[in-house]
Chains A and B, each alone.
Chain A
Amino acid sequence: MSMYVRIKREKLTVFLHCDGTDTVAQIKGKLQELLQKPAEEQRLYKDGAALEEDKTLAELSVANDDELAVAYKLEGSNEFEPVNIDRFDSSAASHKEDSP
């Protein structure tokens, strides 16, 4: 039975097919291609808690349609950026052009 997770960062959402037996490392491997970001520069979170590399999704009780967050390693340091997910705010519907 296939399932998927939604992995978010800023304005991006990746829908990813996965399996309960997939490890977090495998998920990062799949993300690597999609995000053009090496697996070792990614960190995955569920509900604010970082997910351990060698655990499987089932062990971490990640279920179908769950929302995960990905943070990237900051350039030139060993720190990771904080989790940052842009939420759509319907009250601010007037479209503003973001500065780069």
Chain B
Amino acid sequence: MAEKKAVKLISAEGFEFIVDHDAACVSNTIKNMLSSQGNFIENELGEIRFPEISTPVLEVVCKSFYFKLRYANTASKNIPEFKVAPEMALELLMAANYLDM
């Protein structure tokens, strides 16, 4: 299996999340950033900073990437709910809007 590059996402507080390229591309915004000629590559690892996304929100965003990858193309009826804490919902919605996912 040819390993696609991983991507490093950095939250407002400087916490780092390394996710698979495929997973990050669930977000159209990130996909465009990575595919454009823009130079985001540092140490062969794409790094993207999100100064407006806090750490807990970014972690849930990353989880949702994997959730989507896992369930997007399944026909199965028993897809679990993606649970979100109510107090995070608004911030998460804004992040999702920005990330276009």
Contact = CB atoms under 8 A, between A and B. Distances in A.
Contacts of B23: 15
B75 to A, nearest CB: 13
Contact of A95 (B12, B65, B66): B12
A13 B18 contact: yes
A38 to B, nearest CB: 17
Interface residues of A, number: 19
Contact of A14 (B3, B18, B55, B56): B18
Interface residues of B, number: 23
A86 B16 CA distance: 11
A interface SS class: mixed
B13 A95 contact: yes
Given A65-B63, A95-B13, A88 B56 contact: yes
Interface in A1-26: 1-4, 6, 11-15, 17
A22 B100 CA distance: 33
B17 A13 contact: yes
A98 B20 CA distance: 28
Interface of A: 1-4, 6, 11-15, 17, 33-34, 65, 86, 88, 90, 95, 98
Interface of B: 3, 6, 12-20, 23, 45, 54-56, 59, 62-63, 65-66, 69-70
Q: Which 8 A-B pairs have the closest CB atoms?
A: A88-B55, A14-B18, A15-B19, A11-B15, A12-B16, A13-B17, A4-B66, A15-B62
